[in-house]
Amino acid sequence: MTEHGAAPDLMLELQGVQGGYGPSRVLHGLDLTVAKGEVAVILGANGAGKTTTLRAICSMIRTEGTIRLDGEDISGWRTQAVARAGVAHVPQGRGTFIDLTVEENLRLGAISRKGDLGPDLDRWYGVFPRLAERKDQAAGSMSGGEQQMLAIARALMARPRLLLLDEPSLGLAPLVTRELFERLGQINREEGLTMLVVEQNASLALQIGHRGYVLETGRIVTSGSAEQLAADADVRKAYLGF
Ligand SMILES: Nc1ncnc2c1ncn2[C@@H]1O[C@H](COP(=O)(O)OP(=O)(O)OP(=O)(O)O)[C@@H](O)[C@H]1O
Ligand SMILES: [Mg+2]
């Protein structure tokens, strides 16, 4: 345990996190951890509070309870400060600047960082060659899969220590989704980057994930290793379809 009370290998720790919108409470005391270097997956039905959980971590909504990043209590910080502390958020529905080119979007991802962006651009163009081929194309004219890869690459340009992904496969064809998850797994292995992924495609997410949580109406109802979740009868029935 560190002086902050968190185990040293935890990148993210939520304890008793509550939060919602105005008077309506969506999260009812979430406990969740993500160890350094791992991919954690949040599964849950529509409306369970998955997006709200990521918003709570980014301080986009008011919360109660404790949120620690790498041992430091970040609850109540401003969203900007959480981002500067190394949390990158790829929101549901992507949010690229559609009138800007691919490369302009990528450069914006590193706006809070000084120095030569060349090596980072080369790195992510290498992982996502389609972005390299289209670097002068307007983001809005790219396919859904390409825009999702752009949104992820833009988040990576900030050199985050924790990447939050909200349903990266939303609206993508199965093959594109598979490729996207292969890239995410590759980035996790090669960079050791810690990720928290909200995903409806439980099968693919648990393949690259190390740990999983099932969220139901603002509460964690099941958690375990990715293998345990993939073998869990209820999870299989509800999220894997067999
Ligand atoms: N901006 C908002 N204002 C008021 N209520 C909201 C807002 N955003 C979400 N909610 C409500 O909070 C609850 C949880 O929503 P949330 O978006 O976190 O669910 P989710 O698990 O991400 O669902 P989905 O799989 O459909 O994306 C829902 O009842 C939703 O209506
Ligand atoms: Mg959502």
Mean pLDDT is lowest, of 54-58, 89-93, 208-212, for 89-93
Q: So what's the pLDDT on residue 2?
A: 46
Residue nearest to atom 9 of ligand 1 (CA): 52
Q: Transcribe 53-84 into DSSP letters.
A: HHHHHTTSS-EEEEEEETTEE-TT--HHHHHH
Q: How far apart are CA 158 and CA 6, in angstroms?
A: 25
Ligand closest to Cα of 43 equals 1
Atom of ligand 1 nearest to the CA of 48: 21
Q: Residue 50 domain-assigned? A: yes
Q: Measure 5 CA to ligand 2 centroid, in angstroms.
A: 31
Residues above pLDDT 70, as percent of the chain = 96
Phi/psi for 227 (5° steps) reads -65, -45
Phi/psi for 137 (5° steps) reads -85, 145
The sign of the CA dihedral 63, 66, 71, 72 is positive
Residue 123 has pLDDT above 90, yes or no: yes
On whether both 101 and 74 belong to a single domain, the answer is no
CATH number, domain at 227? 3.40.50.300
On whether both 41 and 140 belong to a single domain, the answer is no
* pLDDT confidence bin for 239, thresholds 50/70/90: confident
Rounded to two decimals, what is the model's pTM?
0.94
On whether both 75 and 167 belong to a single domain, the answer is yes
* pLDDT confidence bin for 216, thresholds 50/70/90: very high
Domain limits at 119? 94-152
On whether both 175 and 62 belong to a single domain, the answer is yes
On whether both 66 and 173 belong to a single domain, the answer is yes
Q: So what's the pLDDT on residue 8?
A: 65
Q: Residue 171 domain-assigned? A: yes
Q: What is the pLDDT of residues 41-90, one digit of tens each?
A: 999 999 999 999 999 999 999 999 999 999 999 999 999 999 999 999 99
Q: What is the pLDDT of residues 148-178, one digit of tens each?
A: 999 999 999 999 999 999 999 998 889 999 9
Q: What is the pLDDT of residues 130-151, one digit of tens each?
A: 999 999 999 999 998 899 999 9
Residues above pLDDT 90, as percent of the chain = 85
Ligand closest to Cα of 50 equals 1
Report the pocket of ligand 1 as residue ranges, CB < 6 Å. Answer: 21, 26, 44, 46-52, 92
Q: Measure 53 CA to ligand 1 centroid, in angstroms.
A: 10
Count: domains in the chain: 2
Q: Residue 175 domain-assigned? A: yes
Q: Measure 138 CA to ligand 2 centroid, in angstroms.
A: 26
Atom of ligand 1 nearest to the CA of 198: 22
Q: Measure 91 CA to ligand 2 centroid, in angstroms.
A: 9
